[in-house]
Amino acid sequence: MARRLLARIVAGGAAVLVVAVGLVALADATKSRHTTQDPDSRLRVELEASHRPGSGKALPALVRPLVGYCEAEIAATVTSAGVEELGAGRFRFTLRPALDRSDRRQLEGCLEDATVDHLSAEVTLMEDRASEAPATGTPPDR
């Protein structure tokens, strides 16, 4: 009888250990990991946007606040060039520093999922850019 009790205790302890190891492995596999980015790196982002007619606002007036909102969700800043309108509902902006994989997913999700006055946006490009110092010798925008 003592052996049965000891066997049950050992089996129970082993089961608890297996579950604990599994939970730690699952938590580690699903954790967001951020990597340090070069402070002079850039990420160019392009998106296509549209909105329901009759919303009373021009498309650029809706896209800029969306980008500002999503910028606040990540660890980067839109450069001084701001959000550029490329025409036909396309927009471009540059972030500094560039984003790691986790922040890129977060930014893309924010831009595509946020709801602003019936605005719909789709990220079409995320491209790393080298630091672009102007030819005049002045430092790149901060």
**DSSP conformation class of 51:** E
Which pLDDT score is estimated for 66? 93
For the segment 61-77, what is each residue's pLDDT rounded down to a tens digit?
999 999 999 998 887 88
- CATH number of this structure's domain 42-129: 3.30.70.3400
For the segment 124-135, what is each residue's pLDDT rounded down to a tens digit?
999 998 655 444
* Phi, psi dihedral angles at 77 (to 5 degrees): -130, 140
Residue 57 has pLDDT above 80, yes or no: yes
Instruction: Count CB neighbours of 67 within 10 A.
Output: 23
Question: What integer is the mean pLDDT of 88-102?
Answer: 92
List the domain boundaries for the chain: 42-129
Cα gap 9→69, rounded to integer Å: 54
- Contact (Cβ atoms closer than 8 angstroms) between residue 57 and residue 75: no
